[in-house]
Amino acid sequence: MDLLAQQLINGLFIGSVYGLFAVGYTLVFGVLDMLNLAHAAVFTLGGLIALWLVETAGLSLWLAFPGAVLACGVLGLILDRVAFAPLRRRADSNFSGLISSIAMAIIFESAALGLFGARTVRFPVHTLSVHIWRWGGISITSLQVEIVAVAIFLMVVLTQFLNRARAGKAIRAVAENDLTARLLGIHVDGIIAFTFFISSALGGAAGILFGLYFDSLSPDMGRSIELKGLAVIILGGMGSIPGAIIGGLAFGLSEVLTVAITGTSNLRDAVAFTVLFAVLILRPAGIFGRKKMREA
């Protein structure tokens, strides 16, 4: 029983990182109706840049985190300018955007490889002091709590921002209908660039948390989360922020539960992707049905 509870808690922790990654993913999809396959590469660079700031520049993690997140936001701006903006008025922009984002993913990944090497690296031991709390058979580390706290904080800020702030409302308007938004005097291209900034910043933040949680960072770590992120945003309904958060948690839980029930990790991803396949066929709009599908 304790083991199961422990697994569930672990699932929540990793699920919150998936959720954070997926929120950025789904934000761009909601606004542009385009998949940004370079999101995983930004995720990787986020972790590696934070590590570089901690290790080489000697910053504390509390400074390195926002620094790396900002750097990832700038990567998002570059991504938009280079890979998406030139294609925006083309008839096949859905398709070509997919390909150009793959191209940017390759370029980002090669940059990660060139700048940081192919090794698996980790944050220095004393980056964060880690306490371990135990209740009965269950243990929770302060690192896990901090990860969830940061993830939830960022998701709450984002939701409030989209609902309340002027720029957030503009993002939702562009997501709803960019032509109407333009007619209403919204600077659509600027808003899209801004969306990329937020999306990539969140992706980078997820990368840092992921690197801290698993205590390892490598240039290809984005590969493992890329498909899961896709699965999460489909589960939650493309473009839906709450869907992405809940989808992320559900995905994290399904992973650990599969391991707990089958006793091996072999089938972990198979269950998740079978569920994804079934959801796509039975309910393509995702769990957060049709009505919320267009929500930014």
Nearest to 8 by CA among 285, 280, 261, 264: 261
104 binds other proteins (CB under 8 A): yes
DSSP summary character for residue 217: B
C-alpha span between 223 and 220 (Å, rounded): 6
Amino acid occupying residue 50: A
Cα separation of 220 and 224, whole Å? 8
Angle (nearest 5°) at CA 92 between 279 and 35 = 40
With CA atoms as reference, report the closest residue to 229 among 83, 44, 9. 44
Do 51 and 121 form a contact (C-beta atoms < 8 A)?
yes
Question: How far apart, in whole angstroms, are the C-alpha atoms of residue 186 and residue 178?
Answer: 9
If one counts every other C-beta atom within 10 angstroms of the C-beta of residue 27, the result is 28
Based on the shown chain and the rule CB under 8 A, indicate whether residue 111 belongs to the binding site for other proteins: yes
Taking CB under 8 A as the rule, does residue 77 contact other proteins? no
Per CB under 8 A, the segment of 13-21, 90-98, 142-150, 202-210 that binds other proteins is: 90-98
Q: Candidates 4, 57, 106, 149: give the one binding other proteins (CB under 8 A).
A: 106
Of 48-56, 189-197, 231-239, 251-259, the window that binds other proteins (rule: CB under 8 A) is: 231-239
Q: Toward other proteins, which CB reaches closer, 144 or 200? A: 200
Shortest Å, Cβ 107 to other proteins = 4
Is 273 a binding residue for other proteins by CB under 8 A? The answer is yes
In the chain, which residue ranges form alpha helices assigned H by DSSP? 2-32, 39-55, 61-79, 93-116, 142-164, 166-176, 178-183, 188-214, 221-236, 241-262, 268-282
Asked whether 13 and 252 are in contact (CB, 8 A), the reply is yes
Our finding on whether 31 is near other proteins (CB under 8 A) is no
Q: Is 137 in the site for other proteins (CB under 8 A)?
A: no
Task: Based on the shown chain and the rule CB under 8 A, indicate whether residue 177 belongs to the binding site for other proteins.
Answer: no
- One residue of 274, 289, 290, 291 binding other proteins per CB under 8 A: 274
Q: State yes or no: residue 261 binds other proteins (CB under 8 A).
A: no
Candidates 77, 102, 121, 140; binder of other proteins (CB under 8 A) is: 102
Is 109 among the residues that bind other proteins (CB under 8 A)? Answer: yes
The reply to whether 223 sits near other proteins by the rule CB under 8 A is yes
Stretch that binds other proteins, among 18-26, 136-144, 182-190, 224-232 (CB under 8 A): 224-232
Binding site for other proteins (CB under 8 A): 35, 82-83, 86-87, 90, 92, 94-96, 98-100, 102-107, 109-111, 113-114, 118, 223, 226-227, 230-231, 234, 238, 266-267, 269-270, 273-274, 276-277, 280-281, 284
